[in-house]
Amino acid sequence: MPSNDTERSGESRPMPWWRFPIVWFALSGPALVVVAGFATMAIAFHHADAVIVETAAPSVSVDRAAPTAPALQARNHAATPPRRDGP
């Protein structure tokens, strides 16, 4: 003898959400991203690069104008308008 209304009317109970394959397919993407993130973090911490401490290089006075002097003169000459001597 049926004990409730659903058994009497012939309706079956709905399946729980975890019985649908599309649910697992939809949840697998974000779950794989989280696992990949933890794997990447573990690799980054395990193989971290060493910190390099840079010290100031000794200052050497080098006249940098000498090698570029012709280029600077040409640039300045090209940018200067010609002089007009006379009245």
Q: pLDDT tens digit string along 57-84?
A: 666 665 666 666 677 677 766 667 777 7
Q: Is the model's pLDDT at 2 over the cut of 60?
A: no
Q: Is the model's pLDDT at 18 over the cut of 70?
A: yes
Confidence (pTM): 0.44
Q: Which residue did the predictor score with more confidence, 50 or 41?
A: 41
- SS3 annotation, 16-82: CHHHCHHHHHHHHHHHHHHHHHHHHHHHHHHCCCCCCCCCCCCCCCCCCHHHHHHHHHHHHHHHCCC
Share of the chain above pLDDT 90, in %: 38
Domains of the chain by residue range: 19-46
